[in-house]
Homo-oligomer: A and B are copies of this chain.
């Protein structure tokens, strides 16, 4: 069959290198680059590299925020490397809250799978608040880099699936950035106008020093 030979030949032209137009499953251990991780050899990639099963179980919400974020970012799900998206699961117990945070490198879109969630974001220069209580099946989008939060709005467990416009969106929770490291209280208070007592109280809760 001549056509068969053509197909086989064509495939051979392209199959022998570690970069392909189609995908670039991450080698997490290798050296990354500004565009993401290095690619695994396509010949060693299987369907399981494109499937992630970690979002099927609820995150553990027995913590102070009564909530859990389970990421399927490139670090957990190497198949999304270079594909311009990633995912996560949010679990919020009745009093649960995903505290104020930003994703430095991505927009987010949220779908409520179960329960009710009050979500909001704040625009930058005008400081306008966009807040809404979402019910099952509702979708909300949070523009890249802006402060936003999600709070359980009903008496039952809430679940949401969120997607991002980047395989590696980052997650900067304001409280952790302020109170969970060794940033000196003096610099923190000067740059946030928070009172010393407030700073020390939250540093204690979150393990901050300085």
Which residues of A are in contact with B by a Cβ distance under 8 Å? Answer: 1-8, 10-11, 13-15, 17-24, 27-39, 42, 46-48, 50-53, 55-57, 62-65, 69, 71-77, 79-87, 97-100, 102-109, 111, 113, 118, 120-132, 134-147, 149, 151, 161, 163-166, 168-178, 180-183, 187, 190-195, 198, 201-202, 204-207
Asked if residues B33 and A165 are in contact (CB atoms below 8 Å), the reply is: no
Asked if residues A181 and B5 are in contact (CB atoms below 8 Å), the reply is: no
Cβ–Cβ < 8 Å partners of A11 in chain B? 125-127
* Known contacts A51-B132, A134-B51; A82 and B6 CB within 8 A of each other: no
Cβ–Cβ < 8 Å partners of A105 in chain B? 21, 144-145
* Smallest CB gap from A207: residue in B: B4
Asked if residues A109 and B85 are in contact (CB atoms below 8 Å), the reply is: yes
CA–CA, A195 to B197, complex, Å? Answer: 10
Cβ–Cβ < 8 Å partners of A202 in chain B? 193-194
* Known contacts A33-B39, A149-B191; A124 and B104 CB within 8 A of each other: yes
CA–CA, A81 to B109, complex, Å? Answer: 12
Asked if residues B141 and A181 are in contact (CB atoms below 8 Å), the reply is: no
Q: How far is the CB of A192 from chain B (nearest CB, A)?
A: 5
CA–CA, A84 to B30, complex, Å? Answer: 23
Asked if residues B1 and A19 are in contact (CB atoms below 8 Å), the reply is: no
CA–CA, A32 to B106, complex, Å? Answer: 21
Cβ–Cβ < 8 Å partners of A2 in chain B? 62-64
Q: How far is the CB of A37 from chain B (nearest CB, A)?
A: 5
Cβ–Cβ < 8 Å partners of A29 in chain B? 17-18
Cβ–Cβ < 8 Å partners of A64 in chain B? 1-3, 6
CA–CA, A8 to B179, complex, Å? Answer: 12
Asked if residues B172 and A7 are in contact (CB atoms below 8 Å), the reply is: no
CA–CA, A182 to B128, complex, Å? Answer: 8
